[in-house]
Amino acid sequence: MLGEKNTALIVTSRSEVRAQELAKELRNQRPGTVVSGVRLDLSSPDFSDDLKSLRPDIVVHTAGPFQGQDYRVAKACVDLGSHYIDLADGRDFVQGFDTLHEQARRHDVLLVSGASTLPGLSSAVIDLLRDRFESILDIEISIAPAHQTPRGTGTIAAVLSYCGKPFDVLVNGDWVTMHGWQNMRTQQYPGLGARLSGACDVPDLGLLPTYVAGLRTVTFHASLEAKWEQVALWAMAWATRAGLVKEWRGFIPAFRWISDRLIGWGSDAGGMRITLSGTGTDRTPKTATWYLTARQNHGPEIPCSPALILARKLVAGEISVRGAYPCLGMFTMAEFDAEVSALDIHWNIDETA
């Protein structure tokens, strides 16, 4: 939102010093922009009053992990009459978000959850490819982060939150149980090669069967660049399933320490792929795969892009809908391309009949 006309940006953190340092960095990047940094702690009993004192028009909630988090930020936004956007990747969090719908409509605000890679970008890709099919039967999604991607505490907590935990996945028309970081398979990414991957619990698994009529399979896997990390998570998942370790979150500081020291042992390139299979418009079997490649460690910019797109559209008055929604079909791939045009992020489509 830097440089947007008639806007002022407020960055927040539990540490006022860190918030002000980031604000200063952003002002230096874009001289003349209005950016300030303040302390704000969503766990504080005074959070709602503290947020209200800032008088925001739009709140972008990025403080994960969202797994197990409640809706206090969104509810505070409703009470103060602010629009709300989050980058949530927690399946239960995003799927249950519509419980705020009527309240948001009454207060004439828009609340959007999952304005991130999933389901924001993934649904935009599906919408791009949808017209090439008479019917879509199967969707396979995978993400391959670059090894040099910084891993904050929130990211590590999210990764470990579903390690070995069961979740439901639609496969061949039936709901089956998978476990986090298992169901190991190999994924191919153009320019990145083959990577091992494990199943993860994400919002798309619950949302897409309703978003795409007739869908019989939807899966998601994450492919880490370092094979030993993938195998380690697979083994940790077995430890959870065997009852040896109930919860891995207590190990977050140790994993953060290890991650920080090994971050240079890999590349700055990551990717994403979404494969749709079904029947083409000519009524013959059809498969279309969308591939994205991000280099120069620009991959971490992707999860932020959907939220920025929606915030810009709200500022411009281009979104009139009100209520609480998951981020499904709320922007186009053309809008995504414009948002990331200055980054080393490129995609293409491979089709087979």
Judge if 157 and 270 occupy the same domain.
yes
Instruction: Locate all alpha helices (DSSP H) within 242-321, ordered by sequence.
Output: 252-262, 305-315
Q: Say if residue 49's pLDDT is above 80.
A: yes
Judge if 308 and 195 occupy the same domain.
no
For 252, the token pair is 């977050």
- Segment 176-194 mean pLDDT: 93
4 assigned to some structural domain? no
Across the chain, mean pLDDT equals: 92
Q: Say if residue 128's pLDDT is above 70.
A: yes
Q: Say if residue 262's pLDDT is above 80.
A: no
The CATH number for 83's domain is: 3.40.50.720
Judge if 290 and 313 occupy the same domain.
no
Judge if 54 and 180 occupy the same domain.
no
Q: What is the pLDDT, as a whole number, of residue 247?
A: 83
210 assigned to some structural domain? yes
The CATH number for 293's domain is: 3.30.360.10
323 assigned to some structural domain? yes
232 assigned to some structural domain? yes
325 assigned to some structural domain? yes
Judge if 209 and 177 occupy the same domain.
yes
Q: Say if residue 352's pLDDT is above 90.
A: no
How many C-beta atoms lie closer than 10 Å to residue 109's C-beta?
A: 24
Judge if 150 and 35 occupy the same domain.
no
Q: Give me the sheet containing 58-61, strands edge to edge.
A: 58-61, 83-86, 110-113, 323-326
Predicted confidence band of residue 4 (pLDDT cuts 50, 70, 90): low
Q: Does residue 99 contact residue 79 with C-beta atoms inside 8 Å? A: no
Tell the burial category of 342 from Cβ atoms under 10 Å away from its Cβ (0-12, 13-18, 19+).
exposed
Judge if 269 and 284 occupy the same domain.
yes
Q: What is the pLDDT, as a whole number, of residue 310?
A: 97
More confident residue, 173 or 352: 173
Q: Say if residue 193's pLDDT is above 80.
A: yes
Judge if 179 and 261 occupy the same domain.
yes
Tens digits of residue pLDDT in 212-247? 999 999 999 999 888 888 898 999 999 999 999 888
Tens digits of residue pLDDT in 18-41? 999 999 999 898 888 899 999 999
- Please confirm whether the linkage preceding 65 is cis (ω < 30° from 0): yes
How many C-beta atoms lie closer than 10 Å to residue 331's C-beta?
A: 24
Range of the domain at 53: 9-116+301-336
Q: Say if residue 2's pLDDT is above 60.
A: no
Q: Say if residue 255's pLDDT is above 70.
A: yes
- What distance lies between CA 99 and its chain's CA centroid? 20
190 assigned to some structural domain? yes
Judge if 316 and 233 occupy the same domain.
no
Tens digits of residue pLDDT in 135-166? 999 999 999 998 777 666 767 777 788 899 99
Q: Which residue has the tokens 């302390």?
A: 39
- Segment 74-102 mean pLDDT: 96
Q: Does residue 195 contact residue 236 with C-beta atoms inside 8 Å? A: no
How many C-beta atoms lie closer than 10 Å to residue 280's C-beta?
A: 16
52 assigned to some structural domain? yes
Q: What is the pLDDT, as a whole number, of residue 264?
A: 65
Predicted confidence band of residue 299 (pLDDT cuts 50, 70, 90): very high
Tens digits of residue pLDDT in 204-216? 999 999 999 999 9
For 260, the token pair is 């920080």
Judge if 273 and 199 occupy the same domain.
yes
Q: What is the pLDDT, as a whole number, of residue 1?
A: 54
Predicted confidence band of residue 111 (pLDDT cuts 50, 70, 90): very high
Report the distance separating Cα 287 and Cα 279, nearest Å. Answer: 8
Share of the chain above pLDDT 70, in %: 96
| Strand 193-199 with 185-189, pairing | antiparallel
Q: Say if residue 256's pLDDT is above 60.
A: yes
Judge if 170 and 39 occupy the same domain.
no
1 assigned to some structural domain? no
Q: What is the pLDDT, as a whole number, of residue 152?
A: 65
Q: Say if residue 191's pLDDT is above 60.
A: yes
Domain total for the chain?
Answer: 2
Would you mind telling me the total number of residues written for the chain in this entry?
353
Task: Give the pTM.
Answer: 0.91
Judge if 149 and 289 occupy the same domain.
yes
Q: What is the pLDDT, as a whole number, of residue 155?
A: 74
